[in-house]
């Protein structure tokens, strides 16, 4: 590599003496991650933020923060001219793009350099060459890297199915669709183009043969401006939903068991990097089969979401290396060896049991027990947390619903999986539905522990069972009893008279007290109980003894076949939301009023907006007869399209929205009068 190429990172001046102030052209967890390394290196930081992110943690942590007016990515984080103006206004001398948004946009990189700023990323030419997944595969094929043949959407025939539609300019599952029926090809291409345009500003998509099962293996590369190219290590990211990774680990279980596969992967990754004169951090992604054969998918010319697992098994700070390479420093003389095992899960605000429906609203509490550090490489076994939210954060509808990355590090893969599963089960996550239960069940699944993972994991192992609550129905009922007793204690504590007496205590038997709750999993629960001279009596429970009850803690002794067992329940309240945490599993319920307001009732068959969003298309009209599952309208929220479909066969009797309309969560979108009602 020549000196002129090393200058491709630098703008007009100040970078040669080292970086002094870095603007991160991103938000949330990745902005906080880069800031953490900058602080360790004594470099000042600048944040940019949309109106929706005005109170986000990354804004508070930066030395300077510049507002980007608006909420959507198109108004804010995708506006390169606004970001460069912000960097100049704050006195930043470099821009780190993070991942997503403009991180793989060659025009943005050019503009950064033209403004005299240091670009913390690969050369513009490398971004351009890898930015088009169509052209990049041709180049990799010529370089001797194995590739899957690309298909022109206009030439796809029935015998080529299934095919995968992919966005040429981005990743992360945006703009990706699997097509198994030829009649679906055109509408799915149109939907993929809309998503790609919204997420990346480029609607270009292409097709390739879709392999129903496979192993997603990627190699982290790091290259300096002096000719050194490291293949730092591989990661396996096979467990995915909607083509977006959910569980990632290093090293790969598949690569570990196939002799010579790691050397072949590393050689292919180096070939790919050298073919485009790469510099900085990047990832070469492959699709592999169980025999160890693999095919080039794409090269991400940026840092990856899952980079922490590579950091954990190598001891490297990849962001630190990015910053050093951007100022012309060479990589260390010796590349580190991998040690131990690391697993990362992406904690999303979403409901896997209901088509991965994203959630929005406040995060009242996020507490992962056993966390040894945030945004830092652990040197001993433990749990690392890289998060974009803190207690009190609000998850909006404009961005990806990922809350945090929870990462374990241990000597062995089994230990890393058990450590991470335990931390997640015991975590206090209050306020939103998340995929936490699914993650725990995956980490404890026999197939996962055996290393038998592929991209069809959720289809193979029954998503309904994997997404089931960690707590059993019986234990949920016991947790709701604890909630009722804690609420009674809270009421008594707030009372002006007789607050020292237990709530509901009677010297003589009397009518039971009752409190009602609603669980989104099992519906309504009424807890009927008495506290008498003989102790606690709860209808439906035998041998239940109350040992302690405060507004925040209830301790019960529960009768069992082999003797009584003491159970401890921690309770937190946020309005009518009651969160109960115990070793039995997390439970969240809504406290119901004693008398229901008729105005709050909705008609049977009503379809409610699952999240705030924009109606982008309507596919039915009042009076239409619908089949079960037939789409009625499409919402856009969190950079994805969501289909609102008929829950049963029937007639559309009410349609309350039109294309372009914004709706709030819980709004009645439509009403379907089912055949059963008829």
452-503 per-position pLDDT tens digit: 999 999 999 999 999 999 999 999 999 999 999 999 999 988 876 555 555 5
The model's confidence at residue 205, banded by pLDDT at 50, 70 and 90, is confident
Residue of higher predicted confidence among 198 and 58: 58
Token reading at 78: 């995708």
Please give the CATH architecture assigned to the domain spanning 3-120. 3-Layer(aba) Sandwich (3.40)
Q: Which residues contact 300 (CB under 8 A, 6 or more apart)?
A: 99, 104, 130, 171, 282, 283, 285
Nearest C-alpha neighbor of 244 from the set 306, 310, 311, 293: 306
What is the average per-residue pLDDT within 288-306? 94
Cα atoms in the 13 Å half-sphere on the side-chain side of 583:
6
Distances (CA, A) of 488 to 505, 537, 568, 592, 595: 11, 14, 17, 14, 18
Residue of higher predicted confidence among 40 and 163: 40
CB 375 within 8 A of CB 32: yes
* The residue to which tokens 């913390």 are assigned: 120
Catalytic residue among 177, 302, 441, 567: 302
Please give the CATH architecture assigned to the domain spanning 601-674. Beta Barrel (2.40)
Report the SS3 class of residue 581.
strand
Nearest C-alpha neighbor of 372 from the set 323, 344, 406: 406
pLDDT value, residue 622 = 94
Per domain, the residue ranges of the chain are: 3-120, 473-591, 601-674
* CA pseudo-torsion sign 119, 123, 126, 132: positive
Q: What CA–CA distance (Å, rounded) separates 165 from 649? A: 30
Other beta carbons within 10 Å of 187: 11
CATH 1.10.10 fits 473-591, yes or no: no
What is the average per-residue pLDDT within 639-664? 88
Q: Give the pairing type, strands 44-49 and 64-67.
A: parallel
Q: Residue 597 above 70 pLDDT?
A: no
pLDDT value, residue 595 = 64
pLDDT value, residue 138 = 87
pLDDT value, residue 97 = 98
pLDDT value, residue 52 = 95
Tell me whether residue 235 is one of the annotated catalytic residues: no
pLDDT value, residue 4 = 28
Secondary structure letter of residue 53 according to DSSP: G
What is the average per-residue pLDDT within 506-523? 80
């Amino acid at each position: 590599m020549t000196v002129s190429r090393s200058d491709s990172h630098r703008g007009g001046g100040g970078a040669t003496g080292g970086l002094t102030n870095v603007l991160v052209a991103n938000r949330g967890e990745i902005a906080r991650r880069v800031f953490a390394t900058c602080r360790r290196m004594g470099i000042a930081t600048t944040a940019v933020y949309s109106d929706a992110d005005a109170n986000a943690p990354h804004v508070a942590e930066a030395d300077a923060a510049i507002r980007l007016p608006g909420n959507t990515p198109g108004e804010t984080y995708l506006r390169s001219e606004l970001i460069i103006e912000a960097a100049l206004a704050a006195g930043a001398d470099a821009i780190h793009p993070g991942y997503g948004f403009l991180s793989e946009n060659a025009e943005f990189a050019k503009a950064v350099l033209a403004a005299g700023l240091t670009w913390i990323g690969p050369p513009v030419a490398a971004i351009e060459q890898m930015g088009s997944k169509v052209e990049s595969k041709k180049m990799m094929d010529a370089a001797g890297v194995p590739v899957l043949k690309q298909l022109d959407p206009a030439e796809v025939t029935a015998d080529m199915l299934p095919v995968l539609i992919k966005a040429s300019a981005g990743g992360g599952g945006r703009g990706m669709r699997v097509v198994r029926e030829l009649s679906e090809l055109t509408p799915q291409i149109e939907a993929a183009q809309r998503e790609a345009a919204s997420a990346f500003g480029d609607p270009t998509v292409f097709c390739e043969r879709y392999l129903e099962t496979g192993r997603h293996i990627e190699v982290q590369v790091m290259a300096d401006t002096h000719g050194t190219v490291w293949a730092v290590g591989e990661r396996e990211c096979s467990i995915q939903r909607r083509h977006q990774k959910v569980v990632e680990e290093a090293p790969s279980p598949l690569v570990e068991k196939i002799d010579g596969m790691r050397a072949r992967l590393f050689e292919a990754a180096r070939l790919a990097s050298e073919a485009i004169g790469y510099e900085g951090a990047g990832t070469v992604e492959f699709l592999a089969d169980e025999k160890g054969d693999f095919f080039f998918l794409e090269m991400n010319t940026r840092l990856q979401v899952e980079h922490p697992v590579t950091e954990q098994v190598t001891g490297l700070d990849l962001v630190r290396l990015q910053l050093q390479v951007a100022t012309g420093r060479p990589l260390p003389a010796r590349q580190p060896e991998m040690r131990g095992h690391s697993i990362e899960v992406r904690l999303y605000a979403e409901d896997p049991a209901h088509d991965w429906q994203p959630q929005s609203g406040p995060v009242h509490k996020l507490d992962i027990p056993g966390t040894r550090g945030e945004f830092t490489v652990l040197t001993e076994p433990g749990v690392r947390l890289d998060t974009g939210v803190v207690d009190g954060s609000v998850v909006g509808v404009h961005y990806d619903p990922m809350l945090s990355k929870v990462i374990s590090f241990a000597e062995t893969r089994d230990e890393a999986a058990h450590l991470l599963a335990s931390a997640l089960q015991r975590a206090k996550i209050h306020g939103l539905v998340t995929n936490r239960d699914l993650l725990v069940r995956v980490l404890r699944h026999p197939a996962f522990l055996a290393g038998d993972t592929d991209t069809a994991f959720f289809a193979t192992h029954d998503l309904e069972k994997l997404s089931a609550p960690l707590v059993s129905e019986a234990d949920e009922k016991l947790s709701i009893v604890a909630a009722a007793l804690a609420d009674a204690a809270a009421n008594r504590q707030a009372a002006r008279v007789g607050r020292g007496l237990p709530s509901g205590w009677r010297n003589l038997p009397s009518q039971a007290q009752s409190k009602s709750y609603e669980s989104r999993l099992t519906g309504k629960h009424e807890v009927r109980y008495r506290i008498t001279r003989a102790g606690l009596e709860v209808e439906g429970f035998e041998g239940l003894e109350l040992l302690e009850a405060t507004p925040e803690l209830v301790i019960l002794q529960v009768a069992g076949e082999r003797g009584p067992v003491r159970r401890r329940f921690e309770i937190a309240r946020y309005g009518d939301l009651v969160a109960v945490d115990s070793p039995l599993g997390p439970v969240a319920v809504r406290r119901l009023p004693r008398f229901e307001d008729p105005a709050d009732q909705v008609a049977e068959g009503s379809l409610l907006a699952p999240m705030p969003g924009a109606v982008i298309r309507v596919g039915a009209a009042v009076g239409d007869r619908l089949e079960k599952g037939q789409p009625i309208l499409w919402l856009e929220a969190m950079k994805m399209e969501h289909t609102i479909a008929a829950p049963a066969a029937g007639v559309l009797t009410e349609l309350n929205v039109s294309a372009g309309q914004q709706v709030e969560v819980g709004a009645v979108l439509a009403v379907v009068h089912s055949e059963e009602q008829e």
